[in-house]
Amino acid sequence: MFAFIVSRILQAIPVLLIVGFISFAMFAFVGDPVTVMLGQDYTEAQRVALVAQLGLDKPFFVQYGNFVWRALHGDFGMSYRLARPVGGLIAERLPATLELALSAALLAVAIGVPMGVFTGIRRNAVLSRLFMLFSLVGVSLPTFLIGILLILFFAVQLGWLPSFGRGEVVQFQHWSTGFLTSSGRRALILPAITLGLFQMTLILRLVRSEMLEVMRSDYIKFARARGISQRSIHFRHALGNTLVPVITIVGLQLGGLIAFSIVTETVFQWPGMGLLLVQSIGVADIPVMSAYLLLIALVFVTINLAVDLLYFTVDPRLRSGGKR
């Protein structure tokens, strides 16, 4: 298992280096940070000083080295738009995005898995057909449209839930959380549903097809013959064996959730990283974009690694060293 982990980490490094290089190339060659930062009036001496301060007069590889070194220390330069350090900007907004993505993922699993199990066991029930119809709609509706529809019904028409922002947050050191206040939790509901709906339908379809497959297998028939209760067959014997692909998809989609939160955050004006990115793209704020790209790459690589490790806990065949 140790060798497996090491080989996976080694595989992840080139990915990070490539993304890091793209990110640096964006930072170094796209746009002209000097003219953006200086504004309209400047003297030649000011320009030269800024170029030297940013290290833009150094050779290419020195600049790349400096970039990596600074990035490793959490220094991604200054935002052109806000004239503040990018690292701080992102750190400020990270908790909002993570809380949103996590809530969405939990919601998707908590509702998607039972729905999938149900439609897998009673595939011809009316409710099953309704669930499948729901999943089709969930896949075809763009995220932002779901958000708009939810706002229209629950915020505008019914007035039950807030339509934007995070509500009141509680600050712990560098982490701000909306879980602890009632307005924070209420503000979370609609964005979490919007973000989680697509994953929910994905999980539903996946669990359903896996359950259909597993329920046909011999060991389920055998378990029936042994007189084991229906509940135990469905949830212990069958569901347990559908978990490997489900964990893969849920894990990989967690990264997708963070990426798709860009859209959800814009619809609900949720003060997270995604909203920051969209605002930065609108004005071509390169340092923010390149830092975001690096961070997302890191998140994806970490998630892939975590998913691989989870296999070991779920699939005993891997632990004994056998081949899959």
Return residues touching other proteins (CB under 8 A): 14-15, 18-19, 26, 30-31, 136-137, 139-145, 148-149, 151-152, 156, 163, 255-256, 259-260, 262-263, 266-267, 277-278, 280-282, 284, 286, 289, 293, 296-297, 300-301, 304
Q: Which is nearer to other proteins, 74 or 142 (CB)?
A: 142
Smallest separation, CB 220 to other proteins (Å): 25
Smallest separation, CB 285 to other proteins (Å): 9
160 alpha-carbon distance from chain centroid: 27
Cβ–Cβ under 8 Å, residues 232 and 62: no
Q: Which is nearer to other proteins, 114 or 165 (CB)?
A: 165
Q: Which is nearer to other proteins, 129 or 221 (CB)?
A: 129
The amino acid that residue 127 corresponds to is L
84 alpha-carbon distance from chain centroid: 25
**Long-range contacts, 163-167 (Cβ 8 Å, 24+):** 163/190, 163/268, 164/268, 164/269, 164/270, 165/268, 165/269, 165/270, 165/271, 166/96, 166/270, 166/271
Smallest separation, CB 290 to other proteins (Å): 9
**Long-range contacts, 126-132 (Cβ 8 Å, 24+):** 131/204, 132/208
Smallest separation, CB 263 to other proteins (Å): 6
Q: Which is nearer to other proteins, 204 or 286 (CB)?
A: 286
Smallest separation, CB 140 to other proteins (Å): 4
**Helix 2-29, helix 286-314: angle, nearest 10:** 170
Q: Which is nearer to other proteins, 16 or 220 (CB)?
A: 16
Q: Which two tokens stand for residue 319?
A: 């632990």
